[in-house]
Amino acid sequence: MTNYNWNYPTTVWVGKDRAKDLEKACIEIKTLKPLLVTDKDLINLEFLKDLVNNLEKKFKLCIFSNFSGNPTGENVNEGVEVFKNNSCDSVVAIGGGSALDVGKAIAFMSGQSRPIWDFEDIGDYWKRADEKNISPIIAIPTTAGTGSETGRASAIINSKTGIKKIIFHPKFLPSIVILDPVLTKDLSPRLTGATGMDALAHNLEAFCAPGFHPMADGIAIEGMRLIKKSLLKAVKNGSDLDARFDLLAAASMGSTAFQKGLGAIHSLSHPLNAQFNLHHGLSNAIFMPYVLSFNKENIEERIISICDYLNLSKSFDAFLEWVLELRKELNIPHKLSDVIEIKKMNLDDLSKMALDDPSTSSNPKKLTINDMKVMYEHSISGELF
């Protein structure tokens, strides 16, 4: 029997207006000089100004926000420089997946002497790290998609190679997570839909990944149920805090569950996120039905096993139809060719990047470079398998 390592230690503070407890969280982790990491689109919003004003009364706060979506290694290096120059002792990361990924990476890299790429999620590369100086992290998501707040990795683009890398260490995990649905209520319908589909991809691929991890499976199934229950509600009425709360929980659950593994949805997405700056949730949503139908022979029984719980007819085709209909209601394109100029795509290069992606190894069906290319081609033509 194979041995596995299961990890579920995150402390999560949950509820309406819990962001106001940020000062308590800082006291809890015994920080004196936190570095606030948030992306440039959030820094001037009123709620963040209020949080900053409150923190500055008690702590020597510094701010880093010189990055946006799909962050790079250079962004992390610049943040580490700010961290060190100001003698910071913790990171408070607030924002979407990019802000949380950058914040976690800064807290990690502030204690390392090796370059960030030495800690890619390959084998036991994470053991190369000096654990003693990894700074504590508080994470507050303002989107409900990546679930980076409960994840042990950051997705960072290597600008020199144009490849998105997964940087991993168990201590990437934040010390305290605050889930406050109020912070997500102004998210646009478009981003609510794309980030919600990202959370669905995490839960779905985790559940379908091979291996024995019933804890992850149970969380992933409930995560999918919450998305089915509340994603369209939140898109249609952004002020529905109950729906927003469900999606925040589902996002955190997805990244908790995918320690079991992901699959080709993510393998195909990562190269396009890096090469074309395509939103990660959107690319996951586009690839989802193609990968599902490609993997059908390996996952059909598992998918059928959860249809009752999701209140779907008990068949693989019913599940697939739900995904297709959900995308349609969210105005997500069916074809990759609707969002990318296809003549700019080098399918051979992209397929090689996808095959080499860490997510590939846990796809339910063993993959070749030709499989990747065929899935790209189907996502361009719109034809399911």
Query: Cβ(219)–Cβ(270) under 8 Å?
Result: no
Collapsed DSSP state (helix, strand, coil) of residue 202: helix
Angle among Cα 337, 340, 343 to the nearest 5 degrees reads 85
DSSP state, residue 59: S
Give CA angle at 147 (86, 168), nearest 5°: 60
All structural domains of the chain: 11-184 (3.40.50.1970), 189-381 (1.20.1090.10)
How confident is the model at residue 3, as a pLDDT? 66
Q: Are strands 34-37 and 62-64 parallel, antiparallel or unpaired?
A: parallel
- According to the model, what pLDDT value does residue 9 have? 75
Q: What is the reported pLDDT for 7?
A: 67
Inter-residue contact 204 to 224 (CB < 8 Å): yes
Task: Say if strands 163-168 and 153-158 run parallel, antiparallel, or are unpaired.
Answer: antiparallel
The whole-angstrom distance between residue 189's C-alpha and the CA centroid of its chain comes to 18
Question: pLDDT tens digits for the chain (385 residues)?
Answer: 666 667 677 899 999 999 999 999 999 999 999 999 998 888 888 999 999 999 999 999 999 999 978 899 999 999 999 999 999 999 999 999 999 999 999 999 999 999 999 999 988 999 999 988 899 999 999 999 999 999 999 999 999 999 999 999 988 899 999 999 999 999 999 999 999 999 999 999 999 999 999 999 999 999 999 999 999 999 999 999 999 999 999 999 999 999 999 999 999 999 999 999 999 999 999 999 999 999 999 999 999 999 999 999 999 999 999 999 999 999 999 999 999 999 899 999 999 999 999 999 999 999 999 999 999 999 999 999 9
